[in-house]
Each structure stands twice: as C-alpha cells, then as structure tokens.
Amino acid sequence: MPRDGELWNLLKSIPQGEPNEVVFKPKLGKIIDRSVFSVVWRGREETRQKGIIPTLIEQGKLTKYLSPYNTRHSFITHAVFDLGIDEKFVSNWCGHDIQVSNKHYQDVAIFAGRINPEVPQQQSEIDLLREQMKQQQELINKLLQDRDNLKS
C-alpha cells in the first residue's frame, strides 16, 4: 500500500496490540464474531444492510463475490507486482515461505501484464539504464551533428 495513503494512515493510527490479536475491534473492545463480520462483508437482504462486496460490485469495482480470504491474496499480489516489494519481505509479513507465496498467491499470468492505474508505476533498473543510454546516444548524435555543422 502506498506510504502515507489513506489505508496506511488508518492502520498506523491503530494502537499496537498483542501478537495474534485482531486488528479491528468494535468500540466496546470485543472481538467481532463471524456473523457480524459476515453481515458487514456480504450484507443482509432481510434488513436491507448493504455489505462491502455488494457495494463494490454495484460500483463496478468487482465483478463477482470474493471471500475475505481474497484480501490476503490481493495484498500479496499488489505488494509484489504493483509496489515492487521484495517477495522475501512480503512472505515474511504473511508468515510463510516464498515458495508458498509463489505457488498460492501470486498469479503471475493474470497480473504480470496488468497495471494498477492507482499505483504510480516504477521502471525497472534495466529500463532506467536503457532510457539513460538512449538519452546519452541522442546527446552524442546531437554533438556530432553540431560539430559537422561547424566544419561546413
């Protein structure tokens, strides 16, 4: 996630807790149980409560229902492919080996060709070097042309 973005600042504002403690707690401090989370995530037709996922589908940001587990998948893929964070760090943050991450979470075939328009894209080191070489060659060509123009 981009540093100093809205989500980053929200997460940084949450006081540190104990290891394995839930991140988001209700105001009364109790752990959110599955049924409450399910209503927030999926919604509930009987009470006309709109859930997060139906809202995102309605806005065209999702095309189908995704389980909460998909947020882990999205985080890992986004961190590695969009933000360019080293796989070793991301795997460590998620508590598993790189091999597990590569096998189960990073959909190379799907994401390698896509670009997230909300994330500023960074050039690879090779692309940066190629661009610098191109600029240097253009400068050399211009200097040679200027030199030839002075001779004539």
Give pLDDT tens digits for 99-120. 887 777 655 545 555 555 555 5
pTM value is 0.44
82 Cβ contact partners less than 8 Å away, ≥ 6 residues apart: 116, 119
- The amino acid that residue 65 corresponds to is Y
Could you read off the pLDDT of 60-110 as tens digits, one per residue?
Answer: 888 888 888 778 777 887 788 777 888 888 888 888 888 887 777 655 545
Q: How far is CA 96 from CA 22, 67, 77, 81, in A?
A: 19, 20, 14, 18
Please give the pLDDT value at position 118: 56
In angstroms, the CA 76 to CA 149 distance is 56
